[in-house]
Structures are given as structure tokens and as C-alpha cells.
Amino acid sequence: MTNTNKYIIIPASLVGLTTTAGFALASTYVSADDVVDNVAITVPISCTMSGTGMNTHTKEVVNGTYEENIGTTTMKVLCNDNSGFSIYATGFTNEEIGETNSNKLVGTNASGNATIDTGIAKSGNTSNWAIKLATNSQATYPITITSDTEGPFSSYHTVPSTWTKVATRLAGTDIGAVAEGSTITSTYAAYISSTQPADTYTGKVKYTLVHPNDAPAPTPPSPVTPPTSCTTPVPNFTYMQDLTSANKASVLASMTEDAQYYLADKRDDKTYCVAKLRDGNIWMTQNLDLDIDSETTYTSADTDISSDWSPAASTHATGDTEWESYDEVDNPDGGDYYHPESYDPGDLYWNGTAAYYDNETDCVAGGGTWDSDNSMCNLIASSGDSHYHLGNYYNWSAAVATNDTSSYTTQYQDLDRSICPANWTLPKSGNNTSNGSFQYLVTQYGWDSDEHKMTNPNIWNTPIKSALAGSWSGSLGGVGSNGYFWSPVVFDSYSAHNLDADGDGYVAPVGTYGRYAGISVRCISR
């Protein structure tokens, strides 16, 4: 028999290749069209400064003594760029960075209103306070500010009243062997004269890192613009949020009853007329004009809430007639009885005309526009007294800073939260007649509870300045004839309590209004 098996010898150099009997090995080809990946990783410049031990430094210093090392703050600097950086510092009181007297310590006692200037004296007839800076051994940048006497700033120095360069890194990274960076520490000293009034005195020093080292000094924020009709600031204060229960007594003592002042809201720097009214509280005397924004998270530091709030809706733009149509997908800026909604009519004012017009002829003659749909006279102007600025219109859910108020149905249920600035709140209504309520306030100015009228019928001309801004429910109505102001108190499933006022002196401090409607907000300091 003939053996038909065939044997193929595979050279050792080809072991591992797969072949088949009867096929020749092919040659290897390399394409001339090579593809090359380039990899580049960019590390961004990161220069940061963070602080520890930055809580309030407290120390009791008795009259006639000098105290050093009052608290220590450590600021850690991390910078991964060779261009260097500088650190600036300034003293400031009540956020007035770089302004006059910004480096004072201010007393909080109602009977004192005293201050402590900055200085380095250790004895004498004048109290003063000072700061001292130092770096740790790892830091390679110098303290650039010099002492008030001589030599490097290793002794106490007066607190700067404007942004002052206190340390500089000329070049080189500053991240440390294990990215620990380097530190600058600060501490304080105070001398209290024998005649300094007893009180608690507070002030602040702010530090900021500027990169690179030769960058210009920080620019102090522009001072807020006062309203046109009340140009006197609340003494020693700029922002509404800075009035607290601890300093309220001293603020009230510095204000004249019924006189008009102004404060700003930190959330948008808008300014408002405010007054110490006859009930002994500080009230806004114009309507809130905050545009709520669903992209913004409000906190207890800036808003009258105890937990963070991101509104489910934003303020409608001028001319937007959508209302009561909340839908998370199709109309997230809409609202209904239970979801927040706000409307901004634009920069408009009630013209302050102290008359009620019930027909078109008299309305137009009085400077208003006639609303034929509602048979009302709208007295609206594009400029005017700040107290009569229409502000924004809020439904009740927006006024109490809550995304869903459907569970609040019990009569006289009182929500302890609002759209007001932190440390301010909505005035009480409903069955609440205590100090801090609408009814208590109007009673101080001659409210007749039987007739529901003010002794002075021109309520809008009293220090309360009750702007008759009407309401918004898809259209604007009642401007010049009625004013409505929300309280945080529930009436029923569909309504909440408010204050009503009209052009004839009628005032109902326990009125009710449908929650869906947009009406005005006034705030009272807590």
C-alpha cells in the first residue's frame, strides 16, 4: 500500500504560526500611513488659601490692661505656579471693606455705641487693637508689612483700613514636600483704657490671596446705591442680614423713630428704605424686589430659612403672562396654589396719588391708566418715590420660601420661614396681635378696629408707606386702589392671611388672599 500521509516540516523560527498544508508563507507588509496618538495633560494653575481657627476670637480684657495673643488663625497657602503670589489684608466693620472707620471695633451695647480704634499703644488714655503676622519655617516668602516702630513685622501693627500687601512670594511653587503648602498666622492684641465703657466690641480682618505676585491689589466692592427717597444709611450697617438679635437693641437706639433709612440685601445688593416704627421694630417701608432663581441655592446665612432652599421656579420676566401653570418639564417657572411663583413687572412705581378713581375719565386725569377688564385705575409710573416701587409679586409659596405648601392647611398654622433676608421675617397676621404683627403695628398709628380704618386715612403717607401695588394673577390690577402684604399664617387650603389696605384709609390686618395670587412682601427685623 502506498502511504498517503504528508509531513510538513516547520522551521523553529516559525513556531507559533498557524499554517495549512499546501499554502506558501506570505510576506509581511507595513503601511506607510502610520497613525500616532499625541497625549497632552494640562495641569491648571491652582493657588488657594484656606483658614483654620477663624471663629470669633474672644477675650475679656479689664480696664487699664494690655492683652496679647488674642486667638490665632492659621491660613494655609497652596500654589503650583512659579509666578508667585501676594497676600493682602484689611480690617472691615459690617462688610464696609476699605471704607471710613472700617478698622474699628464697634460696641454692641444699646447704651454705649462706643468704638475702639486700631493702634499699638500699651498704655494711656485711648483703647486700641492691633494684629501680628508670622510664617512657619516652611514658608519662603517674607512678611512685607513692617511694624509701626521698626524692623520686620514681628511685633503688633495697626490694622490696615484699606487692602494692604502683608506677604509676598516672588517666584516658585509653594506646595511643600507632601503638598502641605506653607502657612501665615495672625493674632491680635488690645489695650483697654481705664475709661472704656463696658461692652462687647467686634470687628473683622479679611485676607485674600492674589496671583501672580505683581497683580494689582483687590478692588474694594462698590458701595451700594441708596434708594432715591431715603439716602441715610442705618448707622454702622450696610446689609439687612447683619442686623441680629445680638445687635438689634443698639441699632434701634441709633435710629430716630419714623425716620427713613436704607439697608441693602446681600443676595442682590438691592437697597430698601427701612424705618424704626412706633411698635419698636425695624420694618421695610418699600416692597421686596428679589428675583427668585431656580439655579440659586439660598441658605440660612442670606435668607429667612433654617435649611437650604432651591426654588422650584424662577421669577417671570417682565411681560410674561404665564401664571398657575407649574410643570416640572414644560413650565418649571410656573406655579399654582402650592408651588412658588414670582413676577417682576419691571422698574415701575405707583405714582402715590392719594385718591381712588372709579372711572376712566378721573383716572386718566389723575395720571393713571384705566384697566377696563377690572374697572380699576392703575396709577403706574416709570420713576418716583422709592417707597412706592411696585417690587415683585409673590404667591404664598414663594413668600414662605417653600416649594410645595400643599400640606399646610390648618387654620392659623404659622410658618417660621420666608423669602425675607436672614434675620428678617414676614409680619404675623391671623389671630396674632402681638408685637411683630400687622395689627399691633397699625394700632400704634391709630387704627379703629370697629371701622377698620386709620385715624389718618392716608396710610401710604404715614411712616408705614403702605404702597398700593395691587396684585398679579396673569395680569396686573388694583395698582393705586389696594395694597396687599403676605403673612406666613395659613387661613385654609387655598388661602393665607395678609394685610389689606386701600386708598380710603381702610386697613384689614387680618385679611385673607388666595395663595395662587401674586401680592407684595414687606419684612420686619427679627
Taken in order 510, 515, 516, 521, is the CA torsion positive or negative?
positive
Q: Model pTM greater than 0.85?
A: no
DSSP 3-state assignment of 14? helix
For residues 73-111, one letter each, b for 16 or more C-beta atoms within 10 angstroms of the residue's C-beta and e for the rest, the string is bebbbbbebebbbbbbbbbbbbbbbbbeebbbbbbbbee
- The 3-class SS string of 163-231 reads CEEEEEECCCCECCCCCCCEEEEEEEEEEECCCCCCCCEECEEEEEEECCCCCCCCCCCCCCCCCCCCC
CATH 2.60.40 residue ranges of the chain are: 47-210
Burial (CB < 10 A; 0-12, 13-18, 19+), residue 240, is buried
Residue-wise pLDDT for 264-302, tens only, equals: 999 999 999 999 999 999 999 999 999 999 999 999 999
Predicted confidence at residue 22, as pLDDT, reads: 47
pLDDT at site 165: 83
CB-based burial label for 491 (10 Å; 0-12, 13-18, 19+): buried
Per-residue pLDDT at 336: 87
Q: What share of the chain is helix, strand, coil (3-state, %, to 5)?
A: 5, 30, 65
Tell me what pLDDT residue 42 has: 86
Residue 364: the pLDDT is 87
Q: Determine the Cα–Cα distance for residues 521 and 428; give it in Å rounded to an integer.
A: 12
| Distance in Å from the first CA to the final CA of the chain | 116
Question: Cβ neighbours of residue 85 under 8 Å, at least 6 residues apart?
Answer: 47, 77, 79, 168, 169, 174, 209, 210, 211, 212, 213
> CA-CA distances (angstroms) from residue 512 to 15, 33, 325, 368, 431?
95, 80, 22, 27, 12
Q: CB within 8 A of 35, min separation 6: which ones?
A: none
Amino acid at 286: Q
pLDDT of residue 17: 38
Residue 152, pLDDT score: 38
The three cell numbers of residue 504 are 380710603
d(CA 185, CA 81): 22
Do 424 and 430 contact (CB within 8 A), yes or no?
no
pLDDT in tens, 178-216: 445 667 888 899 999 999 999 888 888 888 888 887 888
Relative to beta strand 495-502, strand 393-394 is: unpaired
CB 71 within 8 A of CB 59: yes
- Quick one: cell of 229? 427717597
Q: Grid coordinates representing 67?
A: 492683652
Residues 272/227, Cβ–Cβ less than 8 Å: yes
Positions in the chain whose pLDDT score sits under 50: 1-23, 110, 137-139, 146-153, 177-179
- CATH numeric code, 47-210: 2.60.40
Contact 487, 386 (CB under 8 A): no
